Structure 1
Amino acid sequence: MRIGVCPGSFDPVTNGHVDIFERGSRLVDKLIIAVSSNPNKNSLFTMEERVEMIRNSVKHIPNVEIDCTGGLLNEYVKSKNATIIIRGLRALSDFEYEFQRALFAKYLDDDIETVFIMTNNKYSFVSSTGIRELAKFGGKLDGLVPDDVKEKLEERFNTVHNK
Structure 2
Amino acid sequence: MTRIGVYPGTFDPITLGHMDIIRRGAKLVDRLVVGVTTNPSKSPMFSVEERMEMVRREVAGVAGDVTVVSFDSLLMDFAERERASIIVRGLRAVADFEYEYQMAGMNQQLNARIETVFLMADVSLQPIASRLVKEIAMYGGDIGRFVSAPVKAQVDARVREIGLKGDARP
User: Same-fold call, TM > 0.5?
Assistant: yes
Mapped partners of 2:53, 2:136: distance in 1: 21
Question: Structure 1: which 5+ runs fail to align?
Answer: none
Mapped partners of 1:45, 1:154: distance in 2: 12
Task: Please give the root-mean-square deviation of Cα atoms over the aligned residues, in Å.
Answer: 1.0
Matching residue within 115, 131, 134 for 1:132? 134
Match runs of 1:1-163 below 5 Å:
1-61=2-62, 62-158=64-160
Question: Structure 2: which 5+ runs fail to align?
Answer: 164-170
Shift of 1:147: 1.1
Aligned to 1:141, what secondary structure does the other structure show?
coil
Aligned to 1:98, what secondary structure does the other structure show?
helix
Mapped partners of 1:142, 1:39: distance in 2: 28
Mapped partners of 1:24, 1:114: distance in 2: 12
CA deviations on 1:41-85 (whole Å, 9 max, x unpaired) are 111100011111111111112310000011111111011110100
TM-score by length of 1: 0.95
Mapped partners of 1:137, 1:31: distance in 2: 35
The one-letter amino acid of 1:42's match is S
The one-letter amino acid of 1:18's match is M
The one-letter amino acid of 1:25's match is A
Higher mean alpha-carbon deviation, 119-128 vs 55-64, is at 55-64
CA deviations on 1:110-153 (whole Å, 9 max, x unpaired) are 11100000000111110000000011011111221011110001
Structure 1: 4+ residue segments shifted above 3 A: none
Mapped partners of 1:16, 1:9: distance in 2: 13
